[in-house]
């Protein structure tokens, strides 16, 4: 696996394998089975695969969340090498934001709902960094998990709106044996919160109203941001202690 740190360095590498299909999996690191499922699909469907690790500070509306975000880079590199990934793109903030976040991507409808309503500026940061990464890497396909379903929809629609050639591929949610959706933030759950976390998935599958599901979660110690049906899914975000969990199920 070759580690690339600068866009100009990637441009040189990209020219060497022109004609080969390229898959791309953008991540913020702290890799788990959900990420690995995306990577494995890219490896299967493309000649070459590039994974990026970049903790994008512009999408964090809470500075404490950014500070606490796990960064086990050495372990992540070991995992990527084990999967036989071809390239790791590992840029610094200045490489991605030479403009210091002066130029941004705005979406004025879906990004204001659900997570967007509770995390001001979040999707602005997400869409901006994804646009930058797709322009740098220029992949044939990019892979996104359905756990962040709102994010997946916005990224897909952004690429279509700007006539970008990268195809956005959605991949199913990977769950722990308890039913809890795989997430980098799961490792931040304390011994008291971890056994409660799977109730989020259990609640979403209940044949009850959204309001009843919200009450069910609150009675078990969750602080609920939302439980809502949209886009053929029931989606939810809720806090356990200092950890914000999101999940969704098909209706």
Active site residue 35: yes
The answer to whether 58 touches 101, Cβ cutoff 8 Å, is yes
The answer to whether 230 touches 221, Cβ cutoff 8 Å, is no
d(CA 235, CA 210): 10
Helix (H, G, I), strand (E, B) or coil at 113: coil
Among candidate residues 32, 35, 118, 122, the one labeled active-site is: 35
Strand partners for 49? 23
d(CA 134, CA 24): 8
Q: How far is CA 56 from CA 32, 45, 108, 151, in A?
A: 18, 27, 21, 14
Which residues are part of the catalytic machinery? Answer: 35
């Amino acid at each position: 696996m070759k580690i690339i740190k600068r866009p100009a360095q990637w441009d040189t590498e990209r020219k060497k394998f022109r004609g080969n299909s390229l898959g791309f999996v953008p991540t913020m690191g702290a890799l788990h089975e959900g990420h690995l499922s995306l990577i494995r699909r890219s490896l299967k469907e493309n000649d070459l695969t590039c994974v990026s690790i970049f903790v994008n500070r512009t999408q964090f509306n809470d500075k404490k969340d950014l500070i606490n975000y796990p960064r086990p880079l050495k372990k992540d590199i070991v995992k990527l090498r084990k999967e036989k990934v071809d390239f790791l793109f590992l840029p610094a903030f200045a490489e991605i934001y030479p403009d210091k976040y002066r130029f941004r991507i705005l979406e004025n409808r879906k990004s204001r709902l659900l997570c967007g309503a509770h995390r001001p500026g979040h999707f602005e940061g997400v869409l901006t960094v994804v646009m930058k990464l797709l322009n740098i890497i220029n992949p044939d396909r990019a892979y996104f998990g359905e756990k962040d379903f709102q994010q997946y929809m916005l990224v897909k629609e952004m690429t279509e709106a700007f006539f970008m050639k990268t195809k956005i591929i959605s991949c199913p949610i990977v769950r722990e044996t308890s039913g809890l959706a795989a997430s980098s933030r799961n490792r931040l759950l304390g011994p008291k919160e971890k056994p409660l976390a799977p109730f989020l998935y259990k609640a979403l599958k209940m044949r009850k109203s959204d309001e009843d599901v919200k009450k069910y979660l609150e009675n078990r110690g969750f602080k609920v941001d939302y439980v809502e049906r949209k886009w053929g899914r029931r989606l939810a975000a809720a806090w356990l202690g200092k950890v914000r969990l999101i999940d969704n199920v098909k209706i």
